Amino acid sequence: MRIALLGGTGDIGQGLALRWAYDTNHEVLIGSRDPERAREKAEEYETELDSRGVDSEIQGFANEMAADRAAVVVAAVPAYHLVDTVEAVADRLGDAVLVSPAVGMKRDDDGLHYNRPGAGSVTALAAEAAPEDVPVVGAFHNLAAGRLADLDASFEWDTLLVGDDEDAKGIVADLAEGIEGLRALDAGGLANAAEVESVTPLLINVARENDGFHDLGVRFE
Amino acid sequence: MRIALLGGTGDIGQGLALRWAYDTNHEVLIGSRDPERAREKAEEYETELDSRGVDSEIQGFANEMAADRAAVVVAAVPAYHLVDTVEAVADRLGDAVLVSPAVGMKRDDDGLHYNRPGAGSVTALAAEAAPEDVPVVGAFHNLAAGRLADLDASFEWDTLLVGDDEDAKGIVADLAEGIEGLRALDAGGLANAAEVESVTPLLINVARENDGFHDLGVRFE
């Protein structure tokens, strides 16, 4: 399957790109507002994979071009760029599934807090910005980007999927479980996204407050 | 240590009472608004423990009397009874640490959602209702009561502690880790409680949406 990572030059995009290229046969496209930057990062990822004996072909494009070519489009951008990014590629999505991993957070002296948008969740913002017939799935919210992007690191994490289109959710679940150590769990409809997104600041707070804990993910058991 | 479980006749109170009596030497007091009901449940817990060869002494009291006698007071009541319960025992808390495990939730067709109170969190509500010099620790929010109360069941769960008094948090962490399979992690100050409480509806949604998952807890790794 061909997967476009809009904002694939950022930290979560890098992690997903490297893991899919390393663990699966999916074709990964790196998107960026700056196509030259996308090409540079795609080459950097290829070099990293090549050093591990994996002959991958990762290409870089402007976000619109990446979205145009893919069956699954992951908006791997910060929450404050999400709406702009989705709107910019809206007429290129075709039959693609749009995946939203972004979380809004604000920091104060106590740590990070979930910054719930008026739409109810950041995933709901993505759904509002997307064309009505494009299924939106929230996923990959709670992955520690640093550990994900370090192919020497392993994990046993869950990723929680929210969305109102069960077929689309099934496609994203299969993509997620292609990554070694990642288990996809269904957290229900889009309306359940806020509780999923809230886990991200919690993971960062727990890592900050406990010695020896860093780059945390979560496991339901 | 002597621990009072206000609302110790309810499901999370039962689980904590049985586990502390089974796994530790702490003395457990069951509190209820109805002291007769507290005594009945205390006897029921003793019988359950006796059937497993554990000779425990669990006593039942009115909430005020239970709070008066304990070093740690757990307000194991539903969120909508929390403020009344804390106010009723406020002048009996003395030097005790007050522990709040309650979470406010609302249900709709999609599942359960976190119902954040105006105070910022349910734990913050408990802190507002308690006398100013009583340290309040949020803990035990994310434990599946049914599995906790089933002494044949095991788990490897984390419980997240929030609070502004580090000594009090240390006391509660030790109590938590006395329960086999439970690890206490610091999630920072009281201001971080909402993200901890939000995990509870998420656990219930995930259990509802995935075959073979029930009575879930969470593990950070």
Beta-carbon separation of A210 and B186 below 8 A: yes
Compare all CA atoms of chain A with the CA of B205 and give the residue at the minimum distance.
A187
Res. A119: pLDDT tops 90: yes
| CA of A201 vs chain B CAs: smallest distance (Å) | 7
Which residue type does A169 have?
K
Which residue type does A122 have?
V
Q: pLDDT tens digit string along A168-212?
A: 999 999 999 999 999 999 999 999 999 999 999 999 999 999 999
Say which residues have a Cβ less than 8 Å from residue B35's Cβ, sequence separation at least 6. Answer: B60, B61, B62, B65
B218 and chain A in contact, CB less than 8 A: yes
- Is A13:A7 a contact under the CB 8 Å cutoff? yes
CB contact residues (below 8 A), chain A span 143-162, against chain B? 155-157, 160
Of A196, A198, A206, the CB nearest to B160: A206
Task: Using an 8 Å CB-CB cutoff, list chain B residues near A218.
Answer: 218-221
DSSP B192: G
Say which residues have a Cβ less than 8 Å from residue B172's Cβ, sequence separation at least 6. Answer: B72, B97, B99, B137, B139, B161, B163, B184
DSSP B56: -
Element (H, E) at A164: none
| CA of A65 vs chain B CAs: smallest distance (Å) | 35
Of A157, A198, A213, the CB nearest to B198: A198
Interface test with A, best of B192, B204, B213 (most A CBs within 10 A): B192
- Is B86:B61 a contact under the CB 8 Å cutoff? no
Task: Using an 8 Å CB-CB cutoff, list chain A residues near B214.
Answer: none
| CA of A200 vs chain B CAs: smallest distance (Å) | 9
Report d(CA A147, CA A155) in Å as an integer. 8
A209 and chain B in contact, CB less than 8 A: yes
pLDDT at residue A110, as a whole number: 86
Identify the CA nearest to B176 among candidates B147, B128, B126, B137: B137
Task: Using an 8 Å CB-CB cutoff, list chain B residues near A194.
Answer: 113-114, 198
Report d(CA A161, CA A174) in Å as an integer. 11
- Number of CB pairs, chain A paired with chain B, less than 8 A apart: 124
* Number of other residues whose CB lies within 10 A of the CB of residue B55: 8
How much of chain A exceeds pLDDT 90, in percent? 98
Identify the CA nearest to B57 among candidates B27, B37, B35: B27
Element (H, E) at B141: none
Report d(CA A31, CA A11) in Å as an integer. 13
* Number of other residues whose CB lies within 10 A of the CB of residue B133: 8
Report d(CA B30, CA B185) in Å as an integer. 26
Task: Using an 8 Å CB-CB cutoff, list chain A residues near B108.
Answer: 191
Average pLDDT, chain B: 97
Which residue type does B15 have?
G
Beta-carbon separation of A209 and B111 below 8 A: no
| CA of B60 vs chain A CAs: smallest distance (Å) | 33
Interface test with B, best of A192, A200, A204, A218 (most B CBs within 10 A): A192
* Number of other residues whose CB lies within 10 A of the CB of residue B80: 10
Beta-carbon separation of B195 and A206 below 8 A: no
Average pLDDT, chain A: 97
A170 and chain B in contact, CB less than 8 A: no
* Number of other residues whose CB lies within 10 A of the CB of residue B81: 16
- Is B72:B4 a contact under the CB 8 Å cutoff? yes
Strand partners, A211: none
Q: 0.90 cut: is pTM over it?
A: yes
End-to-end CA distance of chain A: 30
Interface test with A, best of B147, B199, B202, B215 (most A CBs within 10 A): B202
- Which positions of chain B have pLDDT values less than 50? none
> Which domains are delineated in chain B?
2-209 (3.40.50.720)
Average pLDDT over residues A28-33: 98
